[in-house]
Amino acid sequence: MAIIDSRYVGAWYFLKTALTNVSGTSYILASNVTNTSDLTTVPKDLIQGEAGVLVIDQLGRKDTCTVSGDALIIKNSSNNYLVDTTNVTYKDVFDLLIDDYYLLLNFFFYSVEDIYNTNDLDWLQYILTQLGLTITNKNLLTSATINIGNNITCALNYNCKYDTKFTIDLPVTNNNSEDFIARTAKNYDVRFNVDGNDYYIKSGTINIKIGYSEVYVANTGYQYPFFSPQTHSVSGTFEIYSIHDAYESIPNEGNISLLVGDRYLELGQNSIFSSDNKKIDSNQSANTMTVSFTAFARLGAGISQTRWAYYLANLNPSQIYNVYNYLTQYLNTSNTPELQPLLDYARGKLS
């Protein structure tokens, strides 16, 4: 009886990646990774002496990668449960989303600032590098869908090839020191704050979209396009258990944020509730109401003291001092009040 090689079994693999501001080995826990390589080829009809395909037109090559899985509550060495005795960090797809989404928000934010502060670019670049806020091809998130219900599932789409996102490793035989345990995040781990009212939310969906320009240029000798992040938007729906009064009290604006365990995803302020669908159905055990929203996904959404704490968490004192030093000089010459909390936080860490 033949047994199929473990290399054909998905669960045996590690998705090894370098995470923002996390030193050492990092593994992403996803349930599914799909990569699509697209090289669109179309026949080109010319006056060519026959009706067959003699000439083809190949467009640029593009790889897209999808990573999906449940949000998890993980116990590992980083939160005082010594399941793993090594220096490995385990993260789920929701962590990946937070990292890459905020990286892109920072990219948008500081790209704008640099226009007015070109002389200070070195300082800023140093700060961003220290904080792990430089983006590369693997961070090109194009869309994210978060489904919230009894479980919380995330599906992320990237403009990159899977092997730029992850190193896919088989575990070393007899290496039993790397270990983790986790449970799937459930409804009671989540707060989906939709405008500050006390809703019982049955389900919800959040869609994050990042728009890119694909730029094909000569002199690169490269079949792939350059991607230029251009836009970002947040929209979604949520279904609430509702009494009839709720139908008239859904506001037209509010805050949208999602907390899963101790991880906070700010999604924009003063959102517009674009439509709602009221339903009284005797065949349902409880009345529900579905509200669609479109958020103002603004630059400042990801720039908060909470985030700075996250970025600074793993820096050593010397690195924090350098960030503090450069930031002080940068703030002396630039009008960037959003960075003041970072300065305050770095000062606090040093003291």
Please report, as ranges, the residues that interact with another protein according to CB under 8 A. Answer: 6, 9-15, 27, 29-33, 69-70, 72, 148-151, 169-171, 178-184, 186-194, 196-204, 238, 240-241, 284-286
Q: Which is nearer to another protein, 12 or 226 (CB)?
A: 12
Exposure of 42 by Cβ count < 10 A (0-12 exposed, 13-18 middle, 19+ buried)? Answer: exposed
Q: How far apart are alpha carbons 213 and 49 in whole angstroms?
A: 39
Residue 18 CB, nearest approach to another protein (Å):
17
In the complex, minimum distance from the CB of residue 228 to another protein, in angstroms, rounded to a whole number = 31
Q: Which amino acid is located at 37 in the chain? A: S
Q: For residues 111 and 270, which CB has a smaller minimum distance to another protein in the complex?
A: 270
Nearest to 162 by CA among 323, 338, 16: 16
Closest CB to another protein among 245 and 248? 245
> Considering beta carbons, is residue 187 or 319 the nearer one to another protein?
187
The half-sphere exposure of 198 on its side-chain side, counting CA atoms within 13 A, is 0
Closest contact distance (angstroms) between CB of 251 and another protein is: 13
Nearest distance in Å: CB 336, another protein: 29
In the complex with another protein, which residue's Cβ is closer, 127 or 206? Answer: 206
Burial of 341 (0-12, 13-18, 19+ CB in 10 A): middle
d(CA 27, CA 40): 33
